[in-house]
Amino acid sequence: MINKEELIINEVEKSSVMVPNGWNNTKISKVCKLQNGNSFKPEDWDTKGLPIIRIQNLNGSNNFNYFSGIPQDKWLVETGELLFSWAGTRGVSFGPFIWRGQKGVLNQHIYKVFANDGISKKWLFLILKFVTTKIEDKAHGFKTTLLHVQKKDIDNQSILCPPFIEQRKIAKILGTWDKAISTTERLIDNSKQQKKALMQQLLIGKKRLLDDSGKPFEGEWEDVKLGDISKMNSGGTPKSSVEEYYGGEIPWVSIADMTKHGKWISSTGKYLTNAGIENSSARLYPAGTVLYAMYASIGECSISIVELASSQAILGIRPSSILSNIYLYYFLGNLKEKITLMGQQGTQSNLNAGMVKDFKISLPSLVEQQKIASVLTNADKDIDLLNQQLADLKQEKKALMQQLLTGKRRVKLAS
**Residue 232: strand pairing partners:** 317
CATH number of the domain where residue 294 is located: 3.90.220.20
Q: How confident is the model at residue 413 (pLDDT cuts 50, 70, 90)?
A: confident
38 found inside a domain: yes
Question: What pLDDT sits at residue 365?
Answer: 96
* Mean pLDDT, rounded, of the chain: 91
pLDDT of residue 367: 96
Q: 319-335: per-residue pLDDT in tens? A: 999 999 999 999 999 99
pLDDT at 13: 56
Q: What is the model's pLDDT at position 4?
A: 56
Least confident of 40-44, 98-102, 335-339: 335-339
Whole-prediction pTM value? Answer: 0.83
> Which stretch of DSSP H or E encloses residue 18?
none
Same domain, 138 and 172: no
In single-letter form, the type of residue at position 289 comes to T
Q: In angstroms, what CA-CA distances link 233 with 130, 206, 245, 285, 362?
A: 50, 32, 21, 10, 22
> Is residue 258 domain-resident?
yes
What is the Cβ-side half-sphere exposure of residue 193, based on CA atoms within 13 angstroms? 6
State yes or no: pLDDT of 137 exceeds 80.
yes
Secondary structure element (H or E) that encloses residue 333, with its range? helix 325-344
Are the CB atoms for 316 and 310 separated by under 8 Å? yes
In a domain, 273, yes or no: yes
Same domain, 342 and 239: yes
Domain assignment of residue 18, yes or no: no
Examine the domain organization and report whether 265 and 358 are in the same domain: yes
Same domain for 369 and 357, yes or no, is: no
HSE, side-chain direction, 13 A CA sphere, residue 405? 20
DSSP class per residue in 366-384: HHHHHHHHHHHHHHHHHHH
Q: pLDDT band for 9, please (50, 70, 90 cuts).
A: very low
Query: Would the pLDDT of 97 be above 60?
Result: yes
Residue 141: band (very low, low, confident or very high) from pLDDT cuts 50, 70, 90: confident
Domain membership flag for residue 234: yes
CB 123 within 8 A of CB 168: yes
Is 145 in the same domain as 184? no
CB 227 within 8 A of CB 328: no
Name the residue with higher pLDDT: 349 or 265: 265
Distance, CA of 246 to CA of 38 (rounded, Å):
53
Between 2 and 215, where is the model more confident?
215
Q: Name the pLDDT band for 15 (thresholds 50, 70, 90).
A: low
Give yes or no: residues 296 and 333 share one domain.
yes
pLDDT band with cut points at 50, 70 and 90 for residue 31: very high
Residue 88 reports pLDDT greater than 90: no
- pLDDT(283) > 50: yes
Query: Are 195 and 286 members of one domain?
Result: no
Q: Are residues 293 and 308 in the same domain?
A: yes
Tell me, what's the pLDDT at 373? 97
81 and 42 part of one domain: yes
Q: Where are the beta strands (DSSP E) in 116-192?
A: 147-148, 158-161
Q: Is residue 319 part of a domain?
A: yes
pLDDT tens readout for residues 221-238: 999 999 999 999 999 999
* pLDDT for position 17: 47
Residue 72 lies in a domain: yes
Instruction: Kindly indicate the confidence band of residue 415, based on its pLDDT and cuts at 50, 70 and 90.
Output: low
CA distances from 194 to 175, 208, 351, 380 (A): 28, 16, 28, 11
d(CA 164, CA 196): 47
- Which of 97-101, 175-179, 213-217, 344-348 is the least confident region? 344-348
Q: What's the pLDDT band for 28 if we cut at 50, 70, 90?
A: very high
The residue range of the domain holding 403 is 1-13+163-218+365-415
For the chain, what is the domain count?
3
Question: Could you report the per-residue pLDDT of 189-222, keeping only the tens digit for each?
Answer: 999 999 999 999 999 999 999 998 999 999 999 9
Residues 388 and 400 in one domain: yes
